[in-house]
């Protein structure tokens, strides 16, 4: 296909932070007396912090004020940050480093497109920062996935046109964002969770760089 750039989602694609998001949301849910399962957590993948909180609170009965919600989002983030502060390179998902190295050796541009506002600390602690030519995260974008803004800004930052970009995403919202941006979406995970992806890989160990780039 001779694509010219690769745009990676962070959480669930390069590193396994979904488990930390789950533990931090679960802590909040338990305190509020809301039942929150790993299945419920699937719906929060790729979704912004504020929207995630709304989904979680929707599983309970009570309504909360904006001020209460702000405090809850901060509470969740505090416990999440405690987990990611302890992260290191061992948290990088299988096959990711080989893929990034192979893309670099082929002179393919590499970008990051994440909804997270905690991108900097995760990239620093795992040593992944060095691979990226552009980093677009939740501190830069105004519109959350499935809006294509995060990937459009990524392509602009790399000066590569959308149709030459491949997006790697573990969330359906992210695959929709990639498709809306006119990009090729590789879903990382299970087909049933990612109907908008152009193709699916279970993980990067089975991804062949030469098939798309």
Catalytic residue list? 9, 11
**Contact footprint for Mg ion (CB under 5 A):** 9, 11-12, 46, 170-171
Minimum distance, C-beta of residue 152 to ligand B16, in the bound complex (Å): 15
43 near ligand B16 (CB under 6 A): no
Structure tokens of 59? 């599983």
DSSP assigned state of 186: E
Considering only 42-50, 54-62, 154-162, 195-203, which stretch makes contact with ligand B16 by CB under 6 A? 42-50
What is the side-by-side order of every strand in the sheet holding 184-188?
134-136, 109-113, 5-8, 165-169, 184-188, 199-201
Q: Do 15 and 42 meet the contact criterion of CB atoms below 8 Å apart?
A: no
Minimum distance, C-beta of residue 115 to Mg ion, in the bound complex (Å): 7
- Nearest residue to ligand B16 on Cβ basis: 114
Minimum distance, C-beta of residue 9 to Mg ion, in the bound complex (Å): 4
User: What span, in angstroms and rounded, lies between the C-alpha atoms of 53 and 65?
Assistant: 12
13-32 residues in contact with ligand B16 (CB under 6 A) are 21
Considering only 40-48, 86-94, 100-108, 204-212, which stretch makes contact with ligand B16 by CB under 6 A? 40-48
CA 41, 178, 2, 105 dihedral sign is negative
196 near ligand B16 (CB under 6 A): no
Contacts for 78 with CB less than 8 Å, ≥ 6 apart: none
In the complex, the residues that contact ligand B16 under the rule CB under 6 A are: 9-12, 21, 44-49, 52, 77, 114-118, 138, 171
């Amino acid at each position: 296909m001779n694509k010219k750039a690769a745009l990676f989602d962070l959480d669930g694609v390069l590193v396994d932070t979904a488990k930390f998001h789950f533990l931090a949301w679960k802590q909040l849910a338990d305190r509020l007396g809301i039942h929150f399962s790993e299945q419920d957590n699937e719906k929060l993948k790729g979704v912004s912090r504020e929207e995630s909180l709304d989904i979680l609170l929707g599983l309970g009965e009570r309504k909360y004020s904006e001020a209460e919600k702000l405090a809850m989002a901060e509470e969740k983030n505090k416990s999440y940050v405690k987990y990611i502060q302890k992260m290191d390179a061992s948290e990088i998902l299988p096959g990711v480093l080989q893929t990034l190295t192979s893309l670099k050796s082929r002179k393919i541009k590499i970008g990051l497109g994440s909804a997270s506002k905690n991108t900097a600390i995760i990239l620093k602690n795992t040593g992944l920062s060095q691979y990226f030519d552009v980093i677009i995260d939740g501190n830069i974008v105004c519109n959350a996935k499935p809006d294509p803004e995060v990937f459009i800004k990524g392509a602009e930052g790399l000066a590569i046109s959308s149709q030459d970009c491949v997006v790697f995403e573990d969330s359906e919202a992210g695959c929709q964002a990639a498709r809306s941006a006119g990009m090729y979406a590789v879903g990382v995970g299970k087909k049933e969770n990612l109907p908008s992806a152009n193709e699916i890989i279970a993980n990067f160990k089975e991804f062949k760089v030469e098939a798309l780039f």
